[in-house]
Structure 1
């Protein structure tokens, strides 16, 4: 049987660090990912889509967020199985009652959407059982999948688990919430265990996978922006195929720069391999260049590169501009300006904590002096 495994839609994510127009575009892209998944289900003959938690970013999303999610799912012929995660955990009178009110279940009609708010197993098709492990609290130190081992599934030819939690401790300190043992699929005799929480595609073992978020939401090299097509056969390892669902690419690049010409070549190579309007770039520059080259590099970034990309997060503190003899000669004038230039140059080459600030001040002094001279 074929199914699609996805997770961590985080609908309603605020993206507070960005401009309003970019926030709107990122928000819409998360809804568009639902349609991408629905079309893929139809194309590949997958009748069921399993969403392993954190469908919504909070337990109190706006009505528009809920309606957009429901209507986009319902226009595709597949069935959607939604598991509450730690961001949208299940509780009486909470988010999931609001979601039900927007689906056909509220009027007694059959809905394509099933909310898995309890740990009750569901028979998806004849002999194909889904074992859900919904979260009822945001933070819980108990294993949400422990009951899988003893859950009865009469006449099962396939047992599929659906859970949200950490098999690896993805945080850097403290206890891990909702921890799941790495061998749960073996212990519970599962043919496949679909997990959510980690935002990139991650294989734990042949039968246990994280699908990641379908639309990347941060700068992190974790293979996000995908969903998984899963072909499950009794008695065999499942066949897993990752497919692209995300619109935006969040890239991290660290460049060591020698001069302005080399930087221009790096930019040209990058722009040739990406779709710049759909790319968010975190760019870190390091190296030692002539001061005039550093100014040229930053000018190219500010006047060209930043306007080509959807967003640029520039980190250039470690790109050091050393003044040449010509640079210093242009500042070798009498009076306060000359005195300041010599003091800043001496300080910039020292080991004192203020050296970095002195380099930036000397750079600014040169830029402003040349500007006035040209005027």
Structure 2
């Protein structure tokens, strides 16, 4: 038995805070990820795709989002099993009734807790979320759930495993040993956006297209192979296009900054990379100007998106700046002492010089 495990498509995600061109690209990439999952199913001869919740970003997507999603799925010969998650939970007269009306025979909506025989002797136990936040474990009923003639039992759920630091207080909690308790051959989970093995039979697939700066890796789905009495064989398959990178660089000059840029660009596909960059350091004024120019004239145009935080990148004062340092009261007295010690030489001279530079920066900030 082979199938693809995926989750957290979140179709219709608005991507607020980005420019219109980037929003459109990220929106389209989420639909393209459906094609990537379908192609993975075909390449691995998988007849089923299990989507473990959050197919849509909200319980009220526009009609175009639904139509586009179903049209992409219908391109492939596999069967798509869609589970409501916390973003697109099931309710009467809601989203999933709209999906059913438009879906063809290759798409099945799992809006109830009733087990489904996917193939002869292969039972799927779904745990759809009926509310955004559920207090009880949505998979608890599986322990006593009957699946006549089962040779394989597969669980499909959306939520958090209890030992992820939640101390039992987060909603939609799932017991970490549910696969053992419910005699499952595999438990396909959604909600965690990176692929993760909880144990040999319990896996999060992650999102097929990354949508945040929390992790470097692109999106994946999981190709799963099951056999009676054997542990699952789970293989991650890349499906995502974009990488969302977060970097923090402490630099001392423009040359060091350009070297970091070259390393970054050499390790990624720039046009498919979103970067959040924190810059820190004390650099000569001319170097700071050069660095900002490189960011605005080159780096920003090479990347899909660039977010810069440079509040801690400050220009080192010149000798004339320090000589003209003029502050009143205690700050003025501190500056005079530091100047005297810096000029005196000795073991404390270098430290006094750095402290004087820092004082200059802070006084300049207050003045600004």
Checking the alignment, whether the CA contact within 8 Å between 1:201 and 1:222 is kept in structure 2 is: no
Alpha-carbon displacement from aligned partner over 1:68-91 (angstroms, at most 9, x marks no partner): 000100110000000000111111
Structure 1 unaligned regions, length at least 5:
105-110, 333-337, 363-375
Q: Does the CA contact (< 8 Å) of 2:159 and 2:191 recur in 1?
A: yes
Residue 210 of structure 1, CA deviation: 0.4
Residue of 181, 193, 196 corresponding to 1:202: 196
Q: Normalising by structure 2, report the TM-score.
A: 0.88
The alpha carbon displacement at 1:150 in A equals: 0.6
- 1:324 CA displacement: 2.1
Counterpart of 1:175 in structure 2 is 169
Counterparts of 1:1-375 in structure 2, within 5 Å, are: 1-104=1-104, 111-168=105-162, 175-221=169-215, 223=217, 225-325=219-319, 349=356, 355-356=361-362, 358-359=364-365
Write the distance in 2 (CA, Å) between the matches of 1:357 and 1:327.
Answer: 12
| Alpha-carbon displacement from aligned partner over 1:107-153 (angstroms, at most 9, x marks no partner) | xxxx1000000011111111111000001000111100001101111
User: How far has the Cα of 1:292 moved from its partner?
Assistant: 2.0
Contact 2:160 2:173 in 1 (8 A): yes
For the structure 1 residues 308 and 171, does the alpha-carbon distance in structure 2 shift closer, same or farther, using more than 3 Å as the test? farther
**Residue 320 of structure 1: CA displacement?**
2.6
Match of 2:348 in 1: none
Q: What RMSD over aligned residues (CA atoms) do the two structures have, in Å?
A: 2.5
C-alpha deviation, 1:327, in angstroms:
6.4
TM-score (norm 1): 0.86
| Residue 22 (structure 1) shift | 0.7
2: CA distance, partners of 1:186 / 1:31: 35
Name 2:349's counterpart in structure 1.
none
Structure 2 unaligned residues grouped into runs of 5+: 337-354
Q: What is the count of residue pairs matched by the alignment?
A: 346
Give the whole-Å Cα distance in 2 for the aligned partners of 1:320 and 1:197: 40
Shift of 1:355: 4.9
**Deviation sequence 1:306-354 (CA, Å, 0-9, x none):** 111111111112223211226668xx7xxxxx979xx9xx6995878x9
User: Contact (CA 8 Å) 1:321, 1:359: kept in 2 or not?
Assistant: no
CA distance in 1, matches of 2:282, 2:259: 17
Residue 270 of structure 1: how far off its partner (Å): 1.3
CA contact (8 A) 2:126 2:155 kept: yes
